[in-house]
Chain A
């Protein structure tokens, strides 16, 4: 991983130095500020704040939109390096390279965001670390907030990979349309506790009580496994697509 990072470093530096990317970095700070001040007024403490923020619809939309834009920007910037691309031999390598670049760039941004968010959140909450029980799960907000954070970021990583593959397969404009439709879905599909497994990705960003914490973990793991399977199939379609490795039309 370390070796891969250094191999991609010149490309990452080059992509992240553009003025477009600077604007996105500014948006990241605004997002972290919004997240830090987005908490439940009735339960003002660090752990409840994390849970509240990471299950809030508007925050989720802004967060995913941000990482969609950075993914799109990375793909567009990389496609300018035709001298690099022609050496990748085939489309499979192109997809692999793009995924590694988007994950590294977005991973770095995610880390910066999380550091800013946690620092600000600590300040806003004024050292309030009280823990409270969550639903009838038999666990407290400290454990649940950790689960929510893992759940949220794992889903976001899948979303980034999915968008990278979509960019290669259906190009920029269609990827933008699909993402607008997907993000609009958050307004249509709200939290709806059914205690049943759902394929719909929107559910996993909402705060929905399940029968038990164990059931929530199992359903989420199942969702992630299915998500990985779906992305893998899409990746295979992408590499076998008879449209060629074209990217400029």
Chain B
């Protein structure tokens, strides 16, 4: 699966939040989207998911303009901003509700995914009783459970403790080995260093491809300041 983003711009009223963005993303790679809050990372993720429409330009999935064809991206799962689940259902029931739409996976796969993300012991707990970290893990579980070809994660480590972060990082590296295309919006230096193969820097809507080492060095310098 290849995603081609061609000269994409996005305006909200008069404010241009993405300016003529172009990039080609291919499978077996983890892409890091970095940049400060409001730099346009989440907007681009929403555009890729067809939750938003570009003001100009196009996004192609294996050559198909899915937005023009009124489709959502094929074999794509995303966790963008805060995950939305049904509060009165358990974690497992929430995943079952989602899995029942395409019916690709059953209870076995759901429980296996819950085990992978470290939620198996809390599978019968109601969602509204979940902590922030547990909610985030469930959000990651819904992304992974159906074995999608494209994985989109927006700040996935928010609210996770050190051990869980390490576990999810390993899971993502495993997914990469399965030839998945992974997009990770992050501002954490370790994520870029340990996970990302290619990094795109977002700065007030302008997106540039950066050398990984350069970005990490800049981040380190910023930390010192």
Interface 9-residue window, one of A5-13, A39-47, A143-151, A223-231: A5-13
Do residues A244 and B68 form an inter-chain contact, with CB atoms below 8 A? yes
Q: Does A242 contact B (CB under 8 A)?
A: yes
Do residues B71 and A86 form an inter-chain contact, with CB atoms below 8 A? no
Do residues A82 and B80 form an inter-chain contact, with CB atoms below 8 A? yes
Least Cβ distance of B54 to chain A in Å?
Answer: 8
Closest Cβ neighbor of B50 among chain A residues:
A245
Do residues A82 and B88 form an inter-chain contact, with CB atoms below 8 A? no
Do residues A80 and B84 form an inter-chain contact, with CB atoms below 8 A? yes
How far is B50's CA from A86's CA once the two chains are assembled, in angstroms? 8
Instruction: Annotate B56-70 by CB proximity to A: 1 below 8 A, 0 otherwise.
Output: 000000000001111
> Please, which residues of chain A bring their CB within 8 A of the CB of B69?
90
Do residues A14 and B87 form an inter-chain contact, with CB atoms below 8 A? yes
Do residues B52 and A248 form an inter-chain contact, with CB atoms below 8 A? yes
Do residues B71 and A89 form an inter-chain contact, with CB atoms below 8 A? yes
Do residues B88 and A13 form an inter-chain contact, with CB atoms below 8 A? yes
For the complex, would chain B's binding face be called helix, strand, loop or mixed by DSSP majority?
loop
Do residues B76 and A14 form an inter-chain contact, with CB atoms below 8 A? no
Closest Cβ neighbor of A77 among chain B residues:
B84
How far is B7's CA from A61's CA once the two chains are assembled, in angstroms? 47
Q: With A83-B83, A89-B72 known to touch, is A14 a contact of B88 (CB < 8 Å)?
A: yes
> Please, which residues of chain B bring their CB within 8 A of the CB of A87?
72, 98, 101-102
Q: Tally A residues with Cβ within 8 Å of B.
A: 30
> Please, which residues of chain B bring their CB within 8 A of the CB of A86?
49, 51, 72-73, 76-78
User: What are 26 A-B contacts with C-beta separation under 8 Å?
Assistant: A10-B89, A10-B97, A11-B86, A14-B88, A17-B87, A81-B84, A83-B77, A83-B83, A83-B85, A84-B97, A85-B72, A86-B49, A86-B72, A86-B73, A86-B76, A86-B77, A88-B101, A90-B71, A90-B72, A244-B50, A244-B68, A245-B72, A246-B53, A246-B67, A248-B51, A249-B53
> Please, which residues of chain A bring their CB within 8 A of the CB of B46?
248
> Please, which residues of chain A bring their CB within 8 A of the CB of B70?
90-92, 239-241, 244-245
How far is B79's CA from A6's CA once the two chains are assembled, in angstroms? 26
> Please, which residues of chain A bring their CB within 8 A of the CB of B139?
83
What interface size band does chain B fall in? 20 to 34
Least Cβ distance of A43 to chain B in Å?
Answer: 47
Q: Does B24 contact A (CB under 8 A)?
A: no
Q: Does A247 contact B (CB under 8 A)?
A: yes
Closest Cβ neighbor of A11 among chain B residues:
B86
Given contacts A83-B83, A83-B139, A244-B50, 7 further A-B contacts (CB under 8 A): A17-B87, A81-B84, A84-B97, A240-B70, A241-B70, A245-B70, A247-B51
> Please, which residues of chain B bring their CB within 8 A of the CB of A245?
50-51, 67, 70-72
Q: Does B186 contact A (CB under 8 A)?
A: no
> Please, which residues of chain A bring their CB within 8 A of the CB of B80?
82
Q: Does A243 contact B (CB under 8 A)?
A: yes
Closest Cβ neighbor of A90 among chain B residues:
B71
How far is B93's CA from A82's CA once the two chains are assembled, in angstroms? 17
Do residues B88 and A17 form an inter-chain contact, with CB atoms below 8 A? yes
How far is B77's CA from A83's CA once the two chains are assembled, in angstroms? 8
Least Cβ distance of B70 to chain A in Å?
Answer: 4
Do residues B51 and A82 form an inter-chain contact, with CB atoms below 8 A? yes
How far is B93's CA from A13's CA once the two chains are assembled, in angstroms? 14
How far is B77's CA from A108's CA once the two chains are assembled, in angstroms? 33
